[in-house]
Amino acid sequence: MLAGLVLAEEPAGRYGLAVPTVHREAGFAFYFYSEEGNEPPHVHADKGDGTAKFWLEPVRLDWAESLKVSELRKAMRIVEREQANLLAK
């Protein structure tokens, strides 16, 4: 653990970059990239071969691939519940 962040043992990011995993739940790894320009606050979520990106203010799905609708709903509920914590990271 490093300053409250759990670093993934292997890259969680889709581009082979080591990224800080800020939350794990229900098989999802929630993380962010440190250099994403001037994009609004958001978080990425990976589960298996699937991935999604959620905006945090307000919470909404930006895009997803290879995730079932039920998995997206679960991830959205987690992001909604953890919104304040995710924004604080």
Q: What is the pLDDT of residues 22-37, one digit of tens each?
A: 999 999 999 998 777 7
Cα–Cα distance for residue pair 47/52, rounded to 1 Å: 9
CB atoms within 10 A of CB 16: 7
d(CA 10, CA 69): 26
Residues 6+ away with beta carbon under 8 Å from 1: none
Residues 6+ apart with CB under 8 A from 81: none
The residue ranges of every structural domain in the chain are 6-88
pTM of the model: 0.80
Instruction: Over range 58-69, report the average pLDDT.
Output: 97
Joined tokens for residue 4: 């409250």
| 16, pLDDT greater than 70 | no
